[in-house]
């Protein structure tokens, strides 16, 4: 039974494309049907200029179905589109709510470069054109059955959008709440709740700073499968680069056969301290064998510190320290969301309803200190 449920739910994601010609340009009316949508973006590596990003979109089950989402890659990011068909760029995961089964179903798979000839119908229905810089597929698996979710990548070269974005990535989805006989209905009435994917084809800017990712999300009207242009909203995710974790350590003068090791460091994002982050501190006789011995939080300036004692041996010994920091996803709310799609970029203003920062993980460089040999026993 579980395999049948999973297969059907996946089919909903790869089902009949919807007719959505062009980019949404309708005015938001304050009563959007997908107001809970959120966008989270993080870099695979926290160094400036590093390759790889993770993009996640979420919405509440109570919202209307998501018809289309257009993700705007910020200016400064580099998007490679020359990979050959079949190249795997990353991984994908999603959750859908199957209305017919009253169940949430998880799915996983890969992100690959697609053959444009295989997606002519989907491309036309979703974007109104068959011309794109690159065609992608989220290739998902259920009980050995391959299913695909298309995505369409386009470069942005003309102002005014070129000042804020270098490319777009567009996804479309079928409606779930229309009557079952309708062939356009998502299998099992499956509605997308979360979708995330990684790709190595996008590289972070080499410059330090805050970069604002944007997405336009458009929903369906309730119960009839018609796209509702007035429901279009903007969501944003702020990425600060680079994120760096520093660590220093020193050994104080020994007392009664014990050496005191003090350490300190800072977590910085785009040169600014990151407070309330979790820092795990590791130590060990070799860099490869360090083990966590303490967890602590950074202060408001992003700093952390501590100390511990080590018993001296007959010989001087090396001690390695390493720190790893982690921050959680943060919902910054509408106050942090600056509307982009207003005249002259958009013919009618589109409301910006939410901004976030995605959680990140970063490690320090390993630090080596030397624990001096203990005092020699006095001769009797």
Tens of pLDDT along 319-371? Answer: 999 999 999 999 999 999 999 999 988 888 999 999 999 999 999 999 999 99
Q: What is the DSSP letter of 124?
A: H
**Residue 76 maps to a domain:** yes
Per the listing, tokens 């400064």 go with 76
- Whether residues 54 and 199 share a domain: the answer is yes
- Measure CA of the first residue to CA of the last residue in the chain; give whole Å: 80
- Whether residues 176 and 145 share a domain: the answer is yes
Strands (E), 204-277: 209-220, 227-241, 243-245, 248-251, 258-269, 272-273
Element (H, E) at 3: helix 2-13
Nearest of 65, 79, 274 to residue 165 by alpha carbon? 79
pLDDT confidence of residue 288:
94
Helix count (H) and strand count (E) of the chain? 2, 24
pLDDT confidence of residue 380:
61
pLDDT confidence of residue 147:
67
What's the rounded mean pLDDT across residues 166-172?
A: 97
353, 334 contact by CB (below 8 A) = yes
DSSP lists the bridge partners of residue 281 as: 294, 323
Q: How many CB atoms lie within 10 A of CB 299?
A: 14
Q: Which residues contact 67 (CB under 8 A, 6 or more apart)?
A: 18, 20, 172, 173, 175, 218, 219, 220, 227, 228
**Residue 339 maps to a domain:** no
End position of a domain, from candidates 182, 209, 240 = 240
- Whether residues 269 and 120 share a domain: the answer is no
Confidence band of 10 (pLDDT split at 50, 70, 90): very low
Element (H, E) at 8: helix 2-13
- Whether residues 209 and 267 share a domain: the answer is no
Q: Which residues contact 240 (CB under 8 A, 6 or more apart)?
A: 209, 210, 211, 269, 270, 272, 357
Confidence band of 212 (pLDDT split at 50, 70, 90): very high
Cα–Cα distance between 33 and 56 in angstroms, integer? 20
CA torsion sign for 87, 93, 95, 98 is: positive
- Report the predicted TM-score, pTM, of the whole model to 2 decimal places: 0.88
pLDDT tens digits, 42-62: 998 887 778 899 999 999 999
| Mean pLDDT lowest among 107-111, 151-155, 373-377 | 373-377
48, 206 contact by CB (below 8 A) = yes
Tokens of 319: 């001690």
- Whether residues 166 and 297 share a domain: the answer is no
- Whether residues 213 and 150 share a domain: the answer is yes
- Whether residues 199 and 284 share a domain: the answer is no
Q: Report the CATH number at residue 317.
A: 2.60.40.10
- Whether residues 16 and 147 share a domain: the answer is yes
| Mean pLDDT lowest among 175-179, 233-237, 254-258, 358-362 | 254-258
What's the rounded mean pLDDT across residues 230-243?
A: 96
Strands (E), 18-133: 38-43, 51-58, 66-74, 78-79, 88-98, 103-113
**Residue 347 maps to a domain:** no
Tokens of 34: 């997908």
Helix-, strand-, coil-residue percentages of the chain, each rounded to 5: 10, 50, 40
**Residue 82 maps to a domain:** yes
Domain assignment of residue 202, given as a range: 2-240
- Whether residues 250 and 208 share a domain: the answer is no
**Residue 333 maps to a domain:** no
- Whether residues 233 and 196 share a domain: the answer is yes
End position of a domain, from candidates 208, 240, 272 = 240
pLDDT confidence of residue 105:
87
End position of a domain, from candidates 205, 240, 275 = 240
Flag whether pLDDT at 285 surpasses 80. Answer: yes
The phi and psi torsions of 168 (rounded to 5 degrees) equal -125, 155
> What are the C-alpha distances in Å from 85 to residues 112, 115, 124, 136, 146?
8, 6, 20, 9, 17
pLDDT confidence of residue 25:
44
Q: Which residues contact 227 (CB under 8 A, 6 or more apart)?
A: 18, 19, 20, 67, 68, 218, 219, 220, 221
Task: Tell me the average pLDDT of the chain.
Answer: 89
pLDDT confidence of residue 323:
98
pLDDT: which is higher, 119 or 380: 119
**Residue 335 maps to a domain:** no
**Residue 15 maps to a domain:** yes
Confidence band of 112 (pLDDT split at 50, 70, 90): very high
- Whether residues 184 and 300 share a domain: the answer is no
The phi and psi torsions of 114 (rounded to 5 degrees) equal -105, 160
**Number of residues assigned to the chain:** 380
pLDDT tens digits, 60-90: 999 999 999 999 999 999 999 999 999 999 9
pLDDT confidence of residue 140:
76
Confidence band of 32 (pLDDT split at 50, 70, 90): low
β-pair type (352-357, 227-241) = parallel
Number of structural domains the chain divides into? 2
Burial of 246 (0-12, 13-18, 19+ CB in 10 A): middle
pLDDT confidence of residue 101:
85
| Share of residues in the chain with pLDDT > 70 (%) | 89
Flag whether pLDDT at 21 surpasses 80. Answer: no
Q: Which residues contact 68 (CB under 8 A, 6 or more apart)?
A: 18, 20, 24, 126, 170, 171, 172, 173, 217, 218, 227
- Whether residues 111 and 83 share a domain: the answer is yes
Confidence band of 144 (pLDDT split at 50, 70, 90): low
Flag whether pLDDT at 13 surpasses 60. Answer: no
Flag whether pLDDT at 116 surpasses 70. Answer: yes
**Residue 46 maps to a domain:** yes
Flag whether pLDDT at 171 surpasses 70. Answer: yes
């Amino acid at each position: 039974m579980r395999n049948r449920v999973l297969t059907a739910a996946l089919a909903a994601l790869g089902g009949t494309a919807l007719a959505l010609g062009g980019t949404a340009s309708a005015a938001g009316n304050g009563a959007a049907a997908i107001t809970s949508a959120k966008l989270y973006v993080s870099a695979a590596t926290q160094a400036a200029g590093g390759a790889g990003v993770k993009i996640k979109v979420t919405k509440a089950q109570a919202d209307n179905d998501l018809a289309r989402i257009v993700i705007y890659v910020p200016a400064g990011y580099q998007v490679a589109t020359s990979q050959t068909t079949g190249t795997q760029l990353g991984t994908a995961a999603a959750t859908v709510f199957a209305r017919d089964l009253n169940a949430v179903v998880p799915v996983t798979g890969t992100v690959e470069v697609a053959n444009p000839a295989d997606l002519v119908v989907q491309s036309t229905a979703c974007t109104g054109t068959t011309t794109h810089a690159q065609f992608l597929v989220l290739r998902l698996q259920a009980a050995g059955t391959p299913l695909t979710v298309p995505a369409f990548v386009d470069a942005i070269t003309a102002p005014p959008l070129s000042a804020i974005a270098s490319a777009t990535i567009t996804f479309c989805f079928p409606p779930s709440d229309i009557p079952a006989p309708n062939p356009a209905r998502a299998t099992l009435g499956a509605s997308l709740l979360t979708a995330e994917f990684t790709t190595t084809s996008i590289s972070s800017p080499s410059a330090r700073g805050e970069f604002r990712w944007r997405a336009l999300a458009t929903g369906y009207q309730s119960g009839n499968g018609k796209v509702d242009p007035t429901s279009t909203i903007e969501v944003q995710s702020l990425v600060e680069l680079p994120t760096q974790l520093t660590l220093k350590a020193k050994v104080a003068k020994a007392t009664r056969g014990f050496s005191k090791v003090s350490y300190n460091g800072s977590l910085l994002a785009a040169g600014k301290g990151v407070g309330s982050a979790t820092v795990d501190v590791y130590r060990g006789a070799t860099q490869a064998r360090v083990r966590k011995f303490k967890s602590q939080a950074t202060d408001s300036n992003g700093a952390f510190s501590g100390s511990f004692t080590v018993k001296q041996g007959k010989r001087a010994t090396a001690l390695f320290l390493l720190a790893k920091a982690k921050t959680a996803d943060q919902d910054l709310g509408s106050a942090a969301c600056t509307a982009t799609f207003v005249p002259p970029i958009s013919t009618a203003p589109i409301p910006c309803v939410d901004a976030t920062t995605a959680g990140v993980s970063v490690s320090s460089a390993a630090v080596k200190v030397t624990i001096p040999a203990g005092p020699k026993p006095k001769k009797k």
